[in-house]
Structure 1
Amino acid sequence: MDSAVRLRAAVTLLGRFPALAGVDLDITPGEIVLLKGPNGAGKTTLLRLCAGLCSLASGQGWVLGHDLSKERRMVRRRVALLGHRTGLYDDLTVAENVAFWARAAGTGGADVGEAIERLSLAGRLADTRVGRLSAGQRRRASIASLVVRRPELWLLDEPHAGLDQQSRDTVDTLVRGAAAAGATVVLASHELERIQVLKPRVVSVVGGMVGAGSDPAGGSSGENASTGGDRRVS
């Protein structure tokens, strides 16, 4: 497989509005890619398209070799999206939620305890219903539920939001470990200085465009640029 994500003139509509309006993009397996841009630029829609949660109105797209126009359900089995919603069940405990997502992904329960431990949710918190957690604790539980699924493609929308410094460092360690193990990580964030430690390839999404001059965080544009000329994104 040459690309983990491959988009060609991809258009996605929100109602009649072209949230993605002709995007070309290639992401190779094992890359860490940062989507950089202002609110409303299309970053979240792009993540959702890669997760198989948005449909293509026109153009072509493949994620992990699956055609987005025909095989979105297959895509969902192999990727995980950390969005603004937790994806957790409030009436289940942290441990029950993490175990549920492990079973749903077919990975079994062997990693549940480790995921809970790594996100500092062991002990009393593991047996606490999610509906009683703080916002930061919920975010950590969501991340644990993602990690335990062992996705081949990590899609992270503002992954450090609501986390303390220790938890932010843990997220960075998990991202680096996933990429080193061969997974692909695509994240959207406004915290550019924070993300620099991950040394991602930067794809700029600004003013409805995916820029051709993307570059490594803190570096200069060049051979790490996203493919193609400027393509509109909203």
Structure 2
Amino acid sequence: MPSLSAAPALALHDVSKRYGRRWALARLTYALPAGRSLLLTGHNGSGKTTLLRLVATALGPTAGKVEVLGHDAVQERDTVRREVGLLSHASFLYEDLTAQQNLVVLARLLGHPSPGDVADTLLTRVGLGRRSDNAVRGFSAGMRKRLAIARLLLKAPRIALLDEPFGELDPAGIHDMEGIIAELKASGVTVVLATHLVEQGLTLCEERLHLQDGRAVAA
């Protein structure tokens, strides 16, 4: 039996997900080798976000099996959650706290020895150093996206799931996000990137999975 270290970063075994009578994913089988990054494409409603949420264990499959780094995403959910970071449409930020306080709270939950220092470093990295003491409630959508990526970086996941990471960002923000994705890859993090900006995605990822009505099809 192969060791977990040799397991694919992501393995989907005949995975299906149903909402009522609608199948968001239908018998999807795919394996992403460790050390490779995946561009996930498809029109709205094709199943991209559902797939990312299954990998992040926010959802469970109706049928089939999702494995992350050799772990069953249902049976070993807590283990998978420690290894995966999700940047989604929902920012999961505390509105009444400042940008720094949001990161300090997470750093303390993760047991980081220097919560304030790591928060300041990450806020500078994502271009929010001058807004660290401002409450999130007054942030623009682009600023919230920057803070959300800082939260993901703080978690230091082995797999980063990025759902439309370029959305709501200005050109400078898009450039910064491309740099962050490149840095994640260089540090050995597996990136799964769902985006409508296909050309940009192709420059950042080695693999591509195109979905149509929840099924893998040729792009």
* TM-score for both structures, normalised by structure 1: 0.85
SS at match of 1:91: coil
Structure 2 portions without partners, runs of 5+:
none
- Aligned residue for 1:96? 101
Query: Is 1:52 matched up with 2:64?
Result: no
Shift of 1:208: 3.1
Correspondences of 1:49-198 after superposition (within 5 Å): 49-108=54-113, 109=115, 110-123=117-130, 125-198=131-204
1:159 corresponds to which letter in structure 2? Answer: P
Q: Partners of 1:145 and 1:175 in 2: how far apart? A: 14
The 1:92–1:164 alpha-carbon spacing in structure 2 relative to 1, beyond 3 Å, is same
The 1:67–1:74 alpha-carbon spacing in structure 2 relative to 1, beyond 3 Å, is same
* TM-score for both structures, normalised by structure 2: 0.90
2:175 corresponds to which letter in structure 1? Answer: D
Identity of aligned residues (%): 36
Q: Partners of 1:6 and 1:121 in 2: how far apart? A: 36
Paired positions, count: 212
Shift of 1:84: 0.6
The 1:11–1:196 alpha-carbon spacing in structure 2 relative to 1, beyond 3 Å, is closer
Shift of 1:12: 1.9
Structure 1 portions without partners, runs of 5+:
215-234
- Aligned residue for 1:27? 32
- Farther-moved stretch of structure 1 (58-67 vs 148-157): 58-67
- Farther-moved stretch of structure 1 (158-167 vs 196-205): 196-205
Shift of 1:78: 1.6
Q: Partners of 2:40 and 2:136 in 1: how far apart? A: 30
Deviations 1:19-51 (A, max 9, x none): 222110111222221111100000000000000
1:189 corresponds to which letter in structure 2? Answer: T
Q: Partners of 2:111 and 2:137 in 1: how far apart? A: 25
SS at match of 1:127: coil
2:216 corresponds to which letter in structure 1? Answer: V
Q: Is the 2:120–2:132 contact (alpha carbons within 8 Å) kept by the matching residues of 1?
A: no
Deviations 1:190-233 (A, max 9, x none): 0112223314311111233212x46xxxxxxxxxxxxxxxxxxx
1:114 corresponds to which letter in structure 2? Answer: T
Shift of 1:139: 1.0
1:187 corresponds to which letter in structure 2? Answer: L
